[in-house]
Structure 1
């Protein structure tokens, strides 16, 4: 059953006195090795008015007991338990349904925060009147603790700035190898915007659900800002250090859900035509990425199954970008004049 609802406008109330300022949502599955560190990083925030909702998603290890122990030591920890595994989107939705704070913060069970993250981000959000705020992610290798630097290309994350839904979509484009897609971000979000939009994570998806959630919020009118500070420590395994995830048709489905959301908004946006054009081009890029992955991994039948869905314009655009990227690499390798600049 899907949990991404059609756009709607509903009345929203502020949190009652005594309720936390921020609800931190931590889905956890077989996370006994690291969930304590994640939750502790949230409880150690300099901004103290928070609740940490930890959802054990049917774990088969000692995760549930660790969560109970954390709750026994700090009343701000709210443990929730799924008897069977539901998936990260369903676990987050469980957390959203239980949240009481004015703001929602997502924290993966194997990640962590810098201690002043929430304090700094709340200050920026309130000063600039933003509904969502994302920071730079610092990539850390899980086993070794080795730092791999920022997740996002820092050339355009030098100062605090607001970005449009068009900017977000173009910076969450498939196929980049020198920066991670912006959909990886973990923003602080005003809960009222989530509830007014009637939005939850799409439980049909295991990839692309984050970007879909953020785009739908922006289509519904939420203002998104970025800051260059790396306050979120994002854990990766050695085999996942590549910036590009394994392509799947779920990313195409997420893109189609964005189009559907755009069409079903109560009031048509002035930039709706431009957004739809970007989403149409993005679909072609996603299909090409999936096609070439199928061919590379010898999934020939699957590849031919999507080849006819790709437009001539998409093939042309991909070929042009491929050629320009190769030329850029040659000029960098041999010190040639910089006729081509690498851009997102």
Structure 2
């Protein structure tokens, strides 16, 4: 297990539920209701930390009201909008909880979920316990349409770096990537102390943290659903990706590839992830350059990596061919 900083001590009888909030007055009360309804095992305390990230709606007032009415709810404000990673770090600076779990403001949980994850973590001495999420939609948030990993083998599945990374990109079905998991995490498994998230990431910040912890040697398991309803809505951050986001993901992949001591399977997984992100970076660079009619930026799409440049060239040739034959509209294309 990775060593924690000598000066940091955490209370493993406390679990922090971390909720970043940004312009979500419609859903925050529902999320907070399911958070305060969590049933802790005997001798365990749950605390809920809501961090407003510069909202312009009434969401902060709703969260403040819960903080007044519930002793275990804390409301915090960011000085300026920093994104979900920075907001989660802000919350974790304020607590000595030995465990934490991310919880999105538009999602829901059944009351027994976190207690069940904690008991499994304690019984198996796990650093990370994730459950297969239940997918629903804004039109029917309490109606489960499928599981995050629809074909997950039954029972507990050891969550290795290789499995996690390989199932976090190029998915055949949207919203099946394991990077969307919302696990329970032991604080002392995090080498970087009180601020585990990379604050410059606004997209893929969960993936980066989980991948880094697993590569650090965290003991992890993926179990059956325990009651996290992942409510999919249009307009969420994962639907607003662009070249800048994929650039950060590709650079993240390159950094992970440079880690010492990676097993061959881990290195292969990170290599595949990085190549995919480079293709996405190049494809989105080309798409945005074409939209802006900027030939200089279009050329940049060919400088990211040789395979990514070839990918964009192939997409452009297909688009030109489709236009000439009248079978489609021209587009730079996006990798699948």
Normalised TM-score (structure 2): 0.78
Indicate the RMSD between aligned Cα atoms, in angstroms: 3.1
1:24 aligned residue: 17
- Contact 1:90/1:203 (<8 A) preserved: yes
Superposed CA offset, 1:212-238 (max 9, x none)? 111111122212210121521112224
Q: How does 1:192-203 map to 2 (within 5 A)?
A: 192-195=188-191, 200-203=196-199
Superposed CA offset, 1:166-197 (max 9, x none)? 11111012353355211111111001112566
Superposed CA offset, 1:55-90 (max 9, x none)? 112222222221221112110001112243222111
2:261 aligned residue: 269
Aligned residues: 304
2:163 aligned residue: 167
Of 77, 80, 87, the match for 1:81? 77
- Contact 2:256/2:270 (<8 A) preserved: no
Seen in structure 2, the aligned counterparts of structure 1 residues 251 and 176 have a Cα distance that, compared at 3 Å, is farther
Aligned mates of 2:175, 2:24 — CA distance in 1: 27
Give the superposition deviation at 1:145. Answer: 3.4
Give the superposition deviation at 1:153. Answer: 2.9
1:33 aligned residue: 26
Superposed CA offset, 1:240-268 (max 9, x none)? 69x9874534334234335435645xxx4
Seen in structure 2, the aligned counterparts of structure 1 residues 165 and 199 have a Cα distance that, compared at 3 Å, is farther
SS in 1 for 2:52: strand
Q: How does 1:55-204 map to 2 (within 5 A)?
A: 55-145=51-141, 147=143, 149-174=145-170, 176-177=172-173, 180-195=176-191, 200-204=196-200
Q: How does 1:233-312 map to 2 (within 5 A)?
A: 233-238=229-234, 246=241, 248-261=243-256, 263=258, 268-269=260-261, 271=263, 273-293=264-284, 298-299=290-291, 301=295, 302=297, 304-312=299-307
Aligned mates of 1:134, 1:303 — CA distance in 2: 41
Aligned mates of 1:308, 1:31 — CA distance in 2: 39
Aligned mates of 1:230, 1:244 — CA distance in 2: 26
Aligned mates of 2:298, 2:181 — CA distance in 1: 30
Seen in structure 2, the aligned counterparts of structure 1 residues 205 and 179 have a Cα distance that, compared at 3 Å, is closer
Gaps of at least 5 residues in structure 2 are 315-336
Seen in structure 2, the aligned counterparts of structure 1 residues 8 and 160 have a Cα distance that, compared at 3 Å, is closer
Residue range with higher mean Cα deviation, 81-90 or 124-133: 81-90
Aligned mates of 1:167, 1:188 — CA distance in 2: 18
Superposed CA offset, 1:16-45 (max 9, x none)? 5xx852011111112222111111101101
Aligned mates of 1:190, 1:78 — CA distance in 2: 20
Seen in structure 2, the aligned counterparts of structure 1 residues 160 and 8 have a Cα distance that, compared at 3 Å, is closer
- Contact 1:55/1:94 (<8 A) preserved: yes
Seen in structure 2, the aligned counterparts of structure 1 residues 309 and 14 have a Cα distance that, compared at 3 Å, is closer
Residue range with higher mean Cα deviation, 178-187 or 273-282: 273-282
Give the superposition deviation at 1:10. Answer: 1.7
Aligned mates of 1:95, 1:204 — CA distance in 2: 16
SS in 2 for 1:140: strand
